[in-house]
Amino acid sequence: MLDFSQFEDKEYYTNKRLKVCGNFIYYYQFGKPFRLGKRKPKIKNEIFENKVEQYSEQEIRDRVLRRARRKIADLVNSNAYAWVDDTGFIFKPIFLTLTFKENITDIEKANYEFTKFIQRFNYEITGQKGSYLKYVSVIEFQKRGAIHYHAMTFNLPFIENIYDKLKIIWPAGFFKVSPVDRVKNVGFYLAKYMHKELHDPRLKDHKCYFVSRNLKQPKVTCIEELINLILPMLPEETKEKEIKNIEIPYLETMDISIFNLKNYKAKNNLLDFINQYL
């Protein structure tokens, strides 16, 4: 096993970043280097603070909410197909939609009902109080203004007569359960429901998404030596998208290459190698 620990306390500059979210690997190359190492990178914050007066309140909110959407997609992809039971069976991600019978537009009231649903669902699965279910959920507004929820679960076991039991667990309204086996990018699948809601003034000062405890997090490295070792190992046929010369305010430009290893036969060996350094 190679040793990259010397970079932990070393101050250096790089223009590369690699992010691993489950089967997805994102490689970023920036037009301007940023500082890493013992001293925390400040370039982004310093420049943003210097230019903050140039942005309107809405522009600042847009940036924050776009970041939230990326976080949702990364969390979903980091946890989809990443949870196993005691026998080694890999749980499949399950997509849930929860709607209300009544035209509920009060976010606090709706969130209370959603929280109670999660508590009941956990009890149904385990038979005891506590947090078991791993999930990410986002809020969406229907045309009539009513609130409903889209959620992705990552460790939901087989439940006999689940539809009958969900009627009891979610008495506030209606539900839909959908497998997402054929969805190529489950993170984007859930995050797309945030597209309009990110700009909805009703969500100001409210959470636009909910996550369970102890989810698996994206793994990131900016160590060039490690990135240069990993990149040649990523098969060209797994490259799903490449976007070049994206203008960004603090590092000039950004190129992104997105690799999807979901259908790559040797992905387990490749990810095991990558994860031992991240």
Give, rounded to a whole angstrom, the gap between the first and last alpha carbons of the chain. Answer: 12
Which pLDDT does position 11 carry in this prediction? 80
Which pLDDT does position 200 carry in this prediction? 67
Mean pLDDT by groups of 10 residues along the chain of 278 residues: 67 92 96 77 49 63 79 95 94 94 89 95 93 94 84 94 93 92 88 67 76 94 92 95 91 95 92 89
Which pLDDT does position 182 carry in this prediction? 83
- The predicted model scores a pTM of 0.86
Query: Looking at the structure, do residues 206 and 223 belong to the same domain, yes or no?
Result: no
Query: Looking at the structure, do residues 185 and 229 belong to the same domain, yes or no?
Result: no
List the alpha helices (DSSP H) in the chain. 43-51, 57-79, 107-126, 162-169, 186-191, 224-230, 267-275
Which pLDDT does position 9 carry in this prediction? 67
Does residue 22 lie within any of the structural domains?
yes
Which pLDDT does position 257 carry in this prediction? 97
Which pLDDT does position 7 carry in this prediction? 66
Query: Looking at the structure, do residues 195 and 234 belong to the same domain, yes or no?
Result: no
Asked which of 211, 227, 259 is the last residue of a domain, the reply is 211
Residue 148's domain comprises 94-211
Which pLDDT does position 137 carry in this prediction? 94
DSSP code, position 195 = T
Asked which of 174, 194, 211 is the last residue of a domain, the reply is 211
Asked which of 155, 180, 211 is the last residue of a domain, the reply is 211
Does residue 73 lie within any of the structural domains?
no
Query: Looking at the structure, do residues 133 and 39 belong to the same domain, yes or no?
Result: no
Does residue 16 lie within any of the structural domains?
yes
Q: Return the CATH number at 188.
A: 3.30.70
Query: Looking at the structure, do residues 135 and 206 belong to the same domain, yes or no?
Result: yes
Specify the number of domains making up the chain: 2
Query: Looking at the structure, do residues 176 and 265 belong to the same domain, yes or no?
Result: no
Query: Looking at the structure, do residues 119 and 202 belong to the same domain, yes or no?
Result: yes
Query: Looking at the structure, do residues 188 and 233 belong to the same domain, yes or no?
Result: no
* Closest residue by Cα to residue 268 from 23, 11, 67, 20: 23
Q: How far apart are CA 166 and CA 163, in angstroms?
A: 5
* Closest residue by Cα to residue 156 from 77, 71, 73, 84: 84
Q: In terms of C-beta density within 10 A (0-12 exposed, 13-18 middle, 19 or more buried), how is residue 262 classed?
A: middle
Query: Looking at the structure, do residues 52 and 16 belong to the same domain, yes or no?
Result: yes
